[in-house]
């Protein structure tokens, strides 16, 4: 039995040394150390040995098992290291090659126009005010001189969540909230950029979601002349120093008097497709803040006056970049957005 165990050890160690891969090594492990292996078979004959020989053979068998296990573990480590080395050699990377530059994106055309307008008005002393897009009916309509049942509400078909909560239809609620916070004390000088929502049928010039920027100035002795001067500076800075503006009478419930503001077309008044042969392009609405709006916000309309204006950056961006469909702004087509990288 002793001779058999020593021969099995010599045989197993030789096969372990000759193993070429991990699969062969695992087969050797199962063959020699498994329950049906030759070492186990030899040990089954220990019952025929004398009481003095059994401990000696048991110790020898454990030595043989330990020697074979140690050899297998050592060979396994060597084979694993060889496999890693072979993989590294196969996947060698030439670190001297130039790196691939990360492709940078560019600002969305609407973002560019909004930031340009913000910078312009900040330079004139305005601050930026923001408010919730999910708004109360009171601030969206009632505080702006549009009580329940007012026919002018039909001009802004709205997304209502409850009877008193809706998606804001303009950024004017931010003006109402800001005036309320001032508790009747001027001056107030803000612009309110943000997204607004109206139940509209989407087409080339209409969208159920669009961007709006509104402005508000409230102080003593504010006049229509201040409004006109502000909008002239705005038009010349945004569209070019050669541009002019004109004011046309209009109606908005929250301003009185109210005006539509046009900017002279790039065609120089000759008439073209963009201005529909008129020489003028409508860009925003404006007017003097209605006394009722001032009073509801806590201002004394006998002491304070103000003007307000509202514009759509979507329309301005379409004019500025020659975009013919408002839906391009919201479909996230990379081909469309890439065109504006050169304007960075």
Spatial separation of the C-alpha atoms in residues 151 and 254, rounded to whole Å: 13
Spatial separation of the C-alpha atoms in residues 280 and 262, rounded to whole Å: 6
Spatial separation of the C-alpha atoms in residues 148 and 267, rounded to whole Å: 44
Spatial separation of the C-alpha atoms in residues 199 and 331, rounded to whole Å: 18
Torsion angle of C-alpha atoms 55, 57, 58, 63, degrees rounded to 10: 130
The per-type count for the chain, helices as H runs and strands as E runs, is 11, 9
187 touches 294 (CB < 8 A): no
Q: How many CB atoms lie within 10 A of CB 214?
A: 24
Nearby residues of 207 by Cβ (< 8 Å), 6 or more positions away: 200, 314, 326, 327, 329, 330
- 160: preceding bond cis by omega (within 30 degrees): no
Dihedrals phi, psi of 27, to nearest 5 degrees = -65, -40
Overall residue count recorded for the chain in this entry: 344
DSSP codes of every residue in 207-230: -SEEEEEEEEEEETT--HHHHHHH
4 CB burial (10 A radius; 0-12, 13-18, 19+):
middle
176 touches 139 (CB < 8 A): yes
Residue 295 annotated as part of some ligand binding site: no
Q: What angle do CA 288, 291, 292 make, to 5 degrees?
A: 125
Q: Which residues are annotated as a binding site?
A: 256
Q: Which residues are annotated as a binding site for Mg(2+)?
A: 256
């Amino acid at each position: 039995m002793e001779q058999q165990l020593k021969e099995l050890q010599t045989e197993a160690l030789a096969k372990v040394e000759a193993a070429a891969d991990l699969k062969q090594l695992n087969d050797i492990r199962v063959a020699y150390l498994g329950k049906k292996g030759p070492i186990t078979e030899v040990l089954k004959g220990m019952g025929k040995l004398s009481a003095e020989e059994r401990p000696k053979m048991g110790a020898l068998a454990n030595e043989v098992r330990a020697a074979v296990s140690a050899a297998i573990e050592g060979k396994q480590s060597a084979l694993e290291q060889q496999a890693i080395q072979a993989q590294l050699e196969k996947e060698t990377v030439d670190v001297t090659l130039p790196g691939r530059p990360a492709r940078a994106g560019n600002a969305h055309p609407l973002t560019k126009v909004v930031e340009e307008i913000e910078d312009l008005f900040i330079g004139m002393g305005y601050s930026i005010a923001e408010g919730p897009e999910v708004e109360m009916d009171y601030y969206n309509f009632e505080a702006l001189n549009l009580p329940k049942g007012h026919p002018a509400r039909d001009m802004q078909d709205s997304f209502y969540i409850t009877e008193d909560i809706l998606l804001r239809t303009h950024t004017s609620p931010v003006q109402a909230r800001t005036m309320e916070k001032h508790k009747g004390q001027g001056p107030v000088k803000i612009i309110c950029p943000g997204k607004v929502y109206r139940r509209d049928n989407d087409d080339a010039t209409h969208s159920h979601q669009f961007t709006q920027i509104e402005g508000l100035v409230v102080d003593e002795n504010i006049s229509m002349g201040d409004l006109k001067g502000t909008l002239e500076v705005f038009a010349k800075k945004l569209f070019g120093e050669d541009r002019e503006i004109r004011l046309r009478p209009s109606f908005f419930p929250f301003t009185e008097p109210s005006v539509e503001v046009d900017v002279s077309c790039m065609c120089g008044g000759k008439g073209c497709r963009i201005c529909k042969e008129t020489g003028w392009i409508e860009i925003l609405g404006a007017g003097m803040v209605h006394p009722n709006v001032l009073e509801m916000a806590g201002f004394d309309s006998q002491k304070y006056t103000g003007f307000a204006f509202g514009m759509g950056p979507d329309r301005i961006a379409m004019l500025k970049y020659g975009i013919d469909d408002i839906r391009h702004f919201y479909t996230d087509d990379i081909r469309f957005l890439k065109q504006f990288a050169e304007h960075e």
